Structure 1
Amino acid sequence: MANTSYTRSEELKEILSGQETQLQQKMDEAKDMASFLVELVDTLEVTMSNRSAKGDKEKPLRYCTHIMEQLDALGWDRVTLVDQDLSRVQIELCDASQRKHLITARFPPAYPTIPLTIAPLEVPECEDDQLASQRGLSVGGLSLKQGLALEAAIRQAEGQLEIFREFWDVMQDFDERTWVIDPEKPTRADKMRRCALGNHCSIQVTVQPLSPRSMPDTKLFGPTASIAPMRTKLYQNAGLWDVKKLPRENLEVLLELEGGFPSPVSTNKDDINVGCGICYSFRFEGQVPDQLCSHAKCQQPFHRVCLYETITTSAPKT
């Protein structure tokens, strides 16, 4: 392909600066355009790899300028973290209920030739394929379009956060008005709460992210004599469920909890009686009590590991 030349975009000129003679020689020696393109791709890969290996300590002026312009347009009051080399930026979003969400944007070494990427947001997994599709979601949760400019990507993220606003309202209500014993530190992606009822009893509630005010999946834990009438009440009063009320309020009606759920406001944590009868804690080595004493006068919950250790250490040695 002697006496053949090629043109490059401004971005490619910047990346391949200083290698023009070498590339022209490869073009002259190439049998055809396909062969030259293979050589060009190899050169680009080596160049980008070398940039990454050096940590990109010296970013091109265009790279830095473009990112700074986007952050200026977005507003620095929303930026919570910027890496020294500008490769990673963390931005704070607020939903309509003033909950804060963090989103991370990453700028590759060849930005803007190669577009920025947005890390997945912390949202609940959606299992309802049809509802998820109707609301522009993947079954797993939010799916942000990659390749957008930063400000456009943030606008899209804010719009999608609105989809889960009511779900987070529901979960926040459980967190603030009940004794949540599991998970220990709920995240925005957690759909389940296990709430103490007192007298060694608790209820596990799993909320549907896209229809959070519908009746959730529930599971009762505790002595059979105590939870059997609760289970009956849930079944018999199911028709009283009112989607205008929060699920926590509805469960108080269905379970006929006159004083409502035990909560940090109304009940001392020591009085909710869900701890292990051996170690006296609810959580031990990441596990919650899953064994129940069958004696009518006890009915105390225990960790399986605590029971095992107690039995093995107290058993006579032969």
Structure 2
Amino acid sequence: MDRELEVCIEIASSDSNRSGIESKPEFKTVVQRVLTGNLGCVFGTDELKEILVGSKLQLQQKMLEASDMPSFLIELVDTLEGILSSKSTNIDFQERSVSYWSQIMEQLDALGWEMITDLNADLSKVQIELSDASQRKHMLVVRFPQGFPAVPPTVEPLETPACNSEHSSLSQQLNSNALPFGQQPGLQSVIRHAEKQLEFFKEFWDVMQDIDEHTWVIDPEKPTRADRMRRCALGNHCSIQMNIDPLFPRSMPDTRLFGPANSIDPMRSKLYQNAALWDESKLPRENLEILLELPNGFPSPVNVSKDDINIECGICYSFRFDGQVPDQLCSHSKCQQPFHRVCLYEWLRSIPNTRQSFNTLFGACPYCSETITTTAPKQ
């Protein structure tokens, strides 16, 4: 301890009983009995007594349980160390808190309270609502450390898409939360950096919003601002997956078609044959409707029902199961029922006449009795 406290110890004589502790000896300073036990007594000043107010009962019990005075003294010293260290920390925090709170309040006043959607009682965390040029809402979370303003605030990164590796330097710059606060760290620097991100990704989010509003997105179930992939229903048990480049969102995306071969093969041919028609002045969704020759556009919840697109597993009757989407189809042209691999595998295993060759099962489709095959799902 950096602080000195006077503590006097009186050890009980070997022939003393519990009530026969020797009388208090003469001390040079004014002390009083603080703790008493069968091992002896602890005397101290009023200062020691005040420090131990909240711990006296606990120490008294430890003194009664101790095997000897030296072991109890170790407990006493540890307790005093903890109390004094805690009080010192509290004093330091109180001294800092006046500057800490006033600086944060100044920052929030300058920013504008209409932008604040949540604020911790101790002002350590603030949630700020930002809008991009298309009026989409984005939440920015800023945390103020106890050493603020000497220690800069930390920022939880906005939900933004990851850029491709060939543009890693730009990606790191845009997604970094190590902000250029300079000599005077503050919320204004945080907001400026966040607004640059919103401006940069504005067109990417426009493209994704158009897809979400004009197609039936079957994956991801709840897209975030960071998601670059959309899997959209095409009808007739078919779907298309597209990955949009955040840096060039109007360029032709990487695409993948899912569905029965007799349906997706003609679509794949159209996609490649019409690739030269891609027009970056149009949105990707509009371009894909042209390339795939969809006269009525993509199916969407507005113009088709869920039964029409038939994307749910024919065994568990859900689209997602344990994070997986249906990836198996009955090959019969009039059935083409989708299944989760794990559901179909377990179904076929339960049927007595199912044949097996290595890890592949051969059995009857539960809907049309057409022979259907599947392999064991990955563990």
Fold agreement, TM-score > 0.5: yes
Aligned partners of 2:230 and 2:243 also within 8 Å: yes
3-state secondary structure, aligned to 2:108: helix
Partner residue, 2:265: 228
Where in structure 2 are there 5+ consecutive unaligned residues?
A: 1-84, 355-379
Cα drift, residue 191 of structure 1: 0.2
Change (3 A) 1:163 1:142: farther
Which AA in structure 1 matches 2:143? R
Task: Name the CA distance, whole Å, in 1 between partners of 2:110 and 2:314.
Answer: 58
Query: What is the percent sequence identity of the aligned residues?
Result: 63
Listed as ranges, the matches of 1:98-247 within 5 Å are 98-130=135-167, 133=169, 136-138=170-172, 141-145=175-179, 147=181, 148-247=185-284
Cα drift, residue 314 of structure 1: 3.1
Change (3 A) 1:269 1:185: same
Aligned partners of 1:144 and 1:153 also within 8 Å: no
Aligned partners of 1:120 and 1:144 also within 8 Å: no
Aligned partners of 1:103 and 1:121 also within 8 Å: yes
Partner residue, 1:61: 98
Change (3 A) 1:139 1:308: farther
Q: TM-score, normalised by structure 1?
A: 0.78
Work out whether 1:286 is the aligned partner of 2:314.
no
Aligned partners of 1:142 and 1:160 also within 8 Å: no
Summarize deviations over 1:76-103 as a string: whole Å, max 9, x none.
Answer: 0000111111111110110000000011
Listed as ranges, the matches of 1:36-47 within 5 Å are none
3-state secondary structure, aligned to 1:138: helix
Where in structure 1 are there 5+ consecutive unaligned residues?
A: 1-46
Cα drift, residue 59 of structure 1: 6.3
Cα drift, residue 119 of structure 1: 1.2
Which AA in structure 2 matches 1:197? L
Which AA in structure 2 matches 1:123? T
Aligned partners of 2:155 and 2:177 also within 8 Å: no
Cα drift, residue 58 of structure 1: 8.8
Task: Name the CA distance, whole Å, in 1 between partners of 2:111 and 2:89.
Answer: 28
Change (3 A) 1:51 1:229: farther
- How many residues align? The count is 266
Which stretch shifts more, 270-279 or 190-199?
A: 270-279
Partner residue, 1:96: 133
Partner residue, 2:333: 296
3-state secondary structure, aligned to 2:118: strand
Aligned partners of 1:278 and 1:302 also within 8 Å: yes
Aligned partners of 1:66 and 1:112 also within 8 Å: yes
Give the one of 288, 298, 306 matched to 1:269: 306
Summarize deviations over 1:17-52 as a string: whole Å, max 9, x none.
Answer: xxxxxxxxxxxxxxxxxxxxxxxxxxxxxx89x859
Q: TM-score, normalised by structure 2?
A: 0.66
Root-mean-square deviation (Å):
2.5
Task: Name the CA distance, whole Å, in 2 between partners of 1:269 and 1:144.
Answer: 45
Aligned partners of 1:123 and 1:142 also within 8 Å: no
Aligned partners of 1:59 and 1:85 also within 8 Å: no
Which stretch shifts more, 154-163 or 66-75?
A: 154-163
Which one has a larger percent strand, Structure 1 or Structure 2?
2
The structure showing larger relative contact order (alpha-carbon pairs under 8 Å, at least 6 residues apart) is 1
Which AA in structure 2 matches 1:215? M
Partner residue, 1:37: none
Which AA in structure 2 matches 1:145? L
Cα drift, residue 237 of structure 1: 0.2
3-state secondary structure, aligned to 2:257: strand
